Structure 1
Amino acid sequence: MNRSQLEHILKLHHREAYIWARQCCQFDDELAKDMLQQSYLKILEGKAKLKDATKVKTWLFSIIRYTCIDSLRKGNRLQALGEKDDFIEPEKDTEELNFEAILSQLPTMQREVITSVFYHQMTIAESAEILQISLGTARTHYERGKKKLKELILKSQILEYHGK
């Protein structure tokens, strides 16, 4: 596959790829942008090769996921001095459910299966391929994740209703 074809694929899936990178980086925007850029460089430099053209999205998401994992494992969390220490989180609107916060409470594998299926319209089988787990394991994470997510949303709504 030549460079212009790869660039076309990256442009076509950029929005979803960014959202996936954000999820893989625990919703850290700047880290997600860095990881996405590193992933794109791997692809354009030929370090990651597409073997099956029918699985472009799965291939792209796998590269992003493992780029994020490698970076986090190596401790490459880039941070300017004092950036996080001096930052004050703005207050959230109590009427609005914070789905990122709720999703972040799920175990990692459940969160990744749920987000790939619900937000990226993938099948459980495609999700399993990206996460390199068996289909049965992915189904288990999916079902448990849905159940836990429902509990967390209901709990959040109850707390919100009671003003806590």
Structure 2
Amino acid sequence: MDELELQAQLEKIHNASYGWAMNCCSRDRNEAMDVLQTAYLKVLQGRAVHKGQSSFKTWFFSVVRYTAAEERRRHWFRRLGLAKFAEEKKTDVFFLEDHSSLDKEEDSKMFHGSFAQLPRRQQEVLHLVFYQNLSLQEASAVMGVSIGSARTHYERGKKNMRKFWSSKVLEF
């Protein structure tokens, strides 16, 4: 595949790739843009090569996923070094009062909050299937797991989301 053809393929799947990068980067826009840029560079510089064993989109999503994992490792090592000098405190408090007063933005925040509580693999497979319209087979290839593992993560993720939402509905 020549460079122009490669660029055309990347442009064609840019929006979906950005959505996948957002998912891989815990919805952090700046980090997602950096990861996507790095993935594009890997492809255009020939450090990641599509060999035709899967669709271009599936292959590129794998490149994005592995690039995001590399970035997480780098950030983790940086934080370890910085931890000697500063104490990090994270406060994740979520209070829910009256469901009838929730608007769409609050519902969206609540959804993303519950989605973020899922284990990483469950988040990945649900994002790939629901937001990127990949089959479970394609999602398993992107994630680098067997189809059986992908099915298990998919079913458990749906079950956990149902459980979370049914408990919130019962509270009201």
Alignment partner, residue 137 of structure 1: 149
Measure, in 2, the Cα distance between the counterparts of 1:13 and 1:22. Answer: 14
2:28 corresponds in structure 1 to 28
User: What are the superposed Cα offsets for residues 71-115 of structure 1, whole Å, 9 maximum, x if unpaired?
Assistant: 11121799xxxxxx9xxxxxx983331222121111000110111
Is there any run of 5+ residues in structure 2 with no aligned partner, and where? 79-88, 90-95
Tell me the secondary structure at the aligned position of residue 50 of structure 1.
Answer: coil
CA distance in 1, matches of 2:17, 2:77: 20
User: Is 1:45 aligned to residue 53 of structure 2?
Assistant: no
| Equivalence map 1:67-106=2 (5 Å) | 67-75=67-75, 94-95=102-103, 96-97=106-107, 98=109, 99-106=111-118
Helix, strand or coil for the counterpart of 2:55?
Answer: helix
What percent identity do the matched residue pairs reach? Answer: 36
* Aligned residue among 135, 150, 158 for 1:123: 135
> 2:122: which partner in 1?
110
Q: Structure 1 residue 152: deviation in Å?
A: 1.7
Asked if the contact 1:18–1:32 (Cα under 8 Å) also holds between the matched residues in 2, the reply is yes
Q: Which runs of 5+ in 1 are unaligned?
A: 79-84, 86-91
User: In 2, are the aligned partners of 1:31 and 1:77 still within 8 Å (CA)?
Assistant: no
User: Structure 1 counterpart of 2:158, which letter?
Assistant: K
In 2: Cα distance, 1:21 partner to 1:145 partner: 19
TM-score by length of 2: 0.79
Number of aligned residues = 151
Secondary structure of the residue that 1:75 maps to in structure 2? helix
What's the secondary structure of 2:50's corresponding residue?
A: coil
AA paired with 2:143? L
- Cα distance in 2 between the residues matched to 1:151 and 1:103: 12
Q: 2: distance between equivalents of 1:76 and 1:29?
A: 18
Corresponding residue for 1:6?
A: 6
Superposition CA RMSD, Å: 2.6
* More helix per residue: 2
Name the CA distance, whole Å, in 1 between partners of 2:162 and 2:118: 11
Q: Retained in 2: the 8 A contact 1:106–1:145?
A: yes
